[in-house]
Amino acid sequence: MKKTLALLMALVMMSLTFALAALPSKTSSDIASVGQLIADGDENKDIGGLQIIIVEDETVDETLGEIAEATKEKTPFEFFPEDLQKAIAEKLGDDFDPKALELNEFVALDVIGYEPDKYSAVMAPFTFETEYKPDQRVFPVLGFYDNGEVEWATLGDQFLEGEVQEDGSVNITFEDALLARMDASPSIALAILSTPAAK
């Protein structure tokens, strides 16, 4: 009887551990931050009043709850649309199971001072509560909200991956067309899928 009870307790703890590992976390704007933006790889290029900021957004918060609920039955990676999954899986190659990607950061964004056709791409350095390691691969995913619906998208073929820095921050590059879409969207979510850190 004691053996059976111990086994049941072990299974329950394993189940809880999986659920917590799969559960994405929201990083609030007082913890996460965005550093100085750089346009077209030129630190001296004028970006005008452009800002990408982390904000509080109840609409985005509701999506986090949906992801948490969905990850009781599947992995965070499987929450996203199949075309997005395919793009990331192809980038990862055959040596890594994309279902093992973690979702540790989930924030709401806003764009201020966007000017069309002023730059072709803008790099934004993000600092999150999670300190990513240089050996990790990170895949930023954007959610665009419109009339209660959300459409998920990668950052395009060229900038599909973010670049992890030595200090644990992540450089994320947004093409001009993507910035225009962000500027027009009432709410924007940013999710960070990543390979696990080496132990």
Q: Buried (b) or exposed (e) across 48-62, using 16+ Cβ within 10 A?
A: eebebebeebeebee
Phi, psi of 125 (to 5 degrees): -85, 120
What's this model's pTM, rounded to 2 decimal places?
Answer: 0.85
Of 13-27, 37-51, 156-170, least confident by mean pLDDT is 13-27
Q: What percentage of residues in the chain have a pLDDT greater than 70?
A: 85
